[in-house]
Structure 1
Amino acid sequence: MASIRTRRGSNMLFVDFYYMGIRCRETTNLTDTPANRKKLEKVIEKMEAEIILGLFNYAKYFPKSDKAAEMVALNDRKECINTNTPSFEQFAKLWFSEKEIEWRDTYKRKIKEIIDMYLIVKFGTKPIHLIKKTDVLAFRSSLAKVTYGKSNKHLSAARINSIMVPLGMILKEAAKRYQFDSPYYDINALKQPKTDIQPFTLNEVWTFINGVRADYRNYYLVRFFTGMRTSEIDGLTWENIDFDRREIVIKQAYVKGKIVPPKTQESYRAIQMSPWVYDALKEQQTITYGRSDYVFCAHTGEPLDYNNVNKRVWHPTLKILGLKKRNAYQSRHTAATLWLAAGESPEWIASQMGHSTTKMLFNTYSRYVPNMTRQDGSAFEALVNRSQITQVSTAKETSQ
């Protein structure tokens, strides 16, 4: 039986009771008066009934208690033992150990980070079969309130979805193994805004290439005219440059300081060199070949640090040249839109970009799609040639 007491020198009531074989003493915010004792007796009566029925929620009655988290965990462990089911943390770790063989290192790190930073923190010791749909939805809502960085930005819908994906996979697998209804049923991903496309015009491309630091001219020319991802061009090595076939072979990427396989199976590809890319790589060969395995590298011979390059080269160049501020990934979007504007075949463009089908091409760049008839890259070459002739003519007229 629980008792109501006061501590020596204090006029505040506290409850002295046993829960799961442990003596607990919790102070209330009630002063010692006959009315408050009567009020507390009714609370205790309800507590004891819930303890007997196994419905007692320690944290609900004593949310500020240091013992609350300990008791919740203890109760969770008892439930796991009684029902022979694991806690969320136990099953999440088991699930990860079984699945990691299927993933590349970068994806493994991403999933483990999500599990450790978000999922275990939230669901930890809770028996996995007791997680309800309302718990999952409440967790997703809480993610929308998370802020980061100096500007206190909120997590994007894309980031929240990426956190929810492994949670859904874990819960669905656990539901199959331990035969309970998955709480993730009928929970859809948050709607994400369309990819922000801010491609350069061809004149802007040449303005940037001709205005950027000389030691980065080749780097950005290749980016703009191949549509390579940052990780692909930063991880590009000389062994994957085939000058005879005029191809850049994509077999690897540089991600978070490591050489890893390309993003998707379709990302393994051979990109055709346009004449300007061929000339830029030939010039680059005289600069870094033999000094580094990497086509574009730092003065130490190591791969470029894209954060450093963005900060010291990309953004300052845009500002100096009076070009609209945008991220460097727009160079990839620029290549796609220029190919489309030139009338290249969608299938050819998709293969150059590393897309499995043309669906993503049309979904992302639909407003840049004209009548397409070419299939071999020659229309794009003609478009660039015309722009160069125009620029030269304009420059001559200005000088006269």
Structure 2
Amino acid sequence: MPPTSANLKYAERLVAEIKEKIRLSTFSMAEYFRAAGDGGKLTVGAQLDTWLKGQRIEESTRAGYESCAKFWKITGLGDKALRALRTSDILTALATRPDLSGKTVNNYVQVLREAVELAVTDKILVDNPVIKVPHAKHQKEPPDPFSREEMEKVLVSLADKHPGQVSNFTEFWFWTGMRTSEIFGLRWDNVDLASGLVVVREAVVRGVQKDRTKTNVERTVNLNSRALAAIQRQREHTQVAGEHVFTDPRYRTAWVDERAYRRSFWTPTLKILGVRYRRPYNMRHTYATVMLMAGMNPAFCAKQLGHSVEMFHKTYAKWLDGDQNVREMARLETTLCPSYAQKKIKAP
């Protein structure tokens, strides 16, 4: 650094700052001299591990974070000295995987950002090079529900080839729109057949039964005739045991992983029928759109699915509009062309 007037003034301010921190016993060598302290040998991978150990999170969330940390380790950044980490290193690592979606990139970067920020908080680093990594653009996929015809074809096929538990399970899922974890965790003591209600208060996540749902809010679901019929048929299979309502008939155990259902029943059925593949979760979207197309109150629909009204409107805006878009455009056309209104009146 050349001894210019500006640099000399900066040095004077820095000396004064250091002296003040020494006086207050808050001075850290690592903060001002990057090669000092035990952090000199700390790697990016070790810092990720340290950050993960300090997270008080659900096991399912931890598994996701560990997957993100693994990405950085296998790209070679894991063995890099933390103090040598530069923004360009991160961008280069991401460039090796152009196949990653924007959402996945952001998830990976978020974990690294928070881990490195902890090093800044601990005075191991002065600044966080991950902050300057730009946010990747991505477009959230819109709901992709099944049509009523597709849904009925799937249910008829399952009733024929897998009658009983699998058929009941799928029909109940289609006609309640419950989350995967919620329908896996549903127990008989939360079912009121006389009133046609189920209370959603538990969930199964990665095979672990939890006494709370994804949103940590208990809700009551009103059963329509299709859902009620399906759960009534299910009684002979599992109600005596008094545990989970729906179980895997092959092993007589509770469903713990959607993959088993997909591989053995869901995917083969769609393939045989020639129905375009969508995840089982889209049964939830299907029920939401069926309710809306029936003209049901959006606030009631949101409550049934465990959504906030705001999130429900945002997710299903296309179906909320319904014929309203046509009506609104018709109003505009009436203004632009008065004869348009006369045509609509004369139309049979």
Q: How many residues are paired up?
A: 281
> Are the aligned partners of 1:89 and 1:124 in contact in 2 as well (CA < 8 Å)?
yes
Structure having the higher strand fraction is 1
CA distance in 2, matches of 1:302, 1:340: 35
Please tell me whether residue 120 in structure 1 is matched to residue 66 in structure 2.
no
> Are the aligned partners of 1:230 and 1:329 in contact in 2 as well (CA < 8 Å)?
yes
> Are the aligned partners of 1:222 and 1:277 in contact in 2 as well (CA < 8 Å)?
yes
CA distance in 2, matches of 1:350, 1:188: 34
**Residue by residue, what CA displacement relative to the aligned partner does 1:341-361 show, whole Å, maximum 9, x if unpaired?**
122222222222222x33332
> Are the aligned partners of 1:224 and 1:331 in contact in 2 as well (CA < 8 Å)?
yes
Instruction: Point out 4+ residue stretches in structure 1 off by more than 6 angstroms.
Output: none
Aligned to 1:377: none
Q: 1:124/1:314 Cα in 2 relative to 1: closer, same or farther (>3 Å)?
A: closer
Question: SS where residue 106 of structure 2 aligns?
Answer: helix
Equivalent in 253, 256, 277 of residue 325 of structure 1: 277
Q: 1:186/1:267 Cα in 2 relative to 1: closer, same or farther (>3 Å)?
A: farther
Please tell me whether residue 247 in structure 1 is matched to residue 197 in structure 2.
yes
What's the CA shift for 1:106? 1.1
2:252 is matched by which residue type in structure 1? G
Higher relative CO (CA 8 A, sep ≥ 6), structure 1 or 2?
2
> Are the aligned partners of 2:182 and 2:213 in contact in 1 as well (CA < 8 Å)?
no
Q: 1:271/1:287 Cα in 2 relative to 1: closer, same or farther (>3 Å)?
A: same
Please tell me whether residue 88 in structure 1 is matched to residue 44 in structure 2.
yes
CA distance in 2, matches of 1:272, 1:188: 45
**Residue by residue, what CA displacement relative to the aligned partner does 1:291-333 show, whole Å, maximum 9, x if unpaired?**
4622111233212353232223222322333433322221111
Tell me the TM-score normalized by structure 1.
0.63
Equivalent in 253, 260, 279 of residue 229 of structure 2: 279
Aligned to 2:7: none
Aligned to 1:138: 92
What's the CA shift for 1:362? 2.9
Question: SS where residue 82 of structure 1 aligns?
Answer: coil
Single out whichever of 319-328 and 260-269 deviates more from structure 2: 260-269
Give the number of the structure whose alpha-carbon radius of gyration is greater: 1
Equivalent in 169, 172, 181 of residue 114 of structure 2: 169
Please tell me whether residue 210 in structure 1 is matched to residue 156 in structure 2.
yes
1:369 is matched by which residue type in structure 2? L
CA distance in 1, matches of 2:139, 2:175: 27
Aligned to 1:37: none
Aligned to 1:265: 215
1:177 is matched by which residue type in structure 2? D
1:155 is matched by which residue type in structure 2? L
Q: CA RMSD in A?
A: 2.7
Equivalent in 173, 177, 180 of residue 126 of structure 2: 180
CA distance in 2, matches of 1:248, 1:362: 24
Q: How does 1:57-96 map to 2 (within 5 A)?
A: 82-85=36-39, 86-96=42-52
> Are the aligned partners of 1:266 and 1:354 in contact in 2 as well (CA < 8 Å)?
no
Q: 1:142/1:252 Cα in 2 relative to 1: closer, same or farther (>3 Å)?
A: farther
Unaligned 5+ residue runs, structure 1? 1-78, 145-153, 373-400
Question: SS where residue 253 of structure 2 aligns?
Answer: coil
**Residue by residue, what CA displacement relative to the aligned partner does 1:329-388 show, whole Å, maximum 9, x if unpaired?**
211110111112122222222222222x3333233322111379xxxxxxxxxxxxxxxx
> Are the aligned partners of 2:247 and 2:253 in contact in 1 as well (CA < 8 Å)?
yes
> Are the aligned partners of 2:87 and 2:132 in contact in 1 as well (CA < 8 Å)?
no
Q: 1:134/1:322 Cα in 2 relative to 1: closer, same or farther (>3 Å)?
A: closer
Q: 1:172/1:346 Cα in 2 relative to 1: closer, same or farther (>3 Å)?
A: farther
Unaligned 5+ residue runs, structure 2? 1-32, 324-348
Please tell me whether residue 334 in structure 1 is matched to residue 286 in structure 2.
yes
> Are the aligned partners of 1:343 and 1:371 in contact in 2 as well (CA < 8 Å)?
no
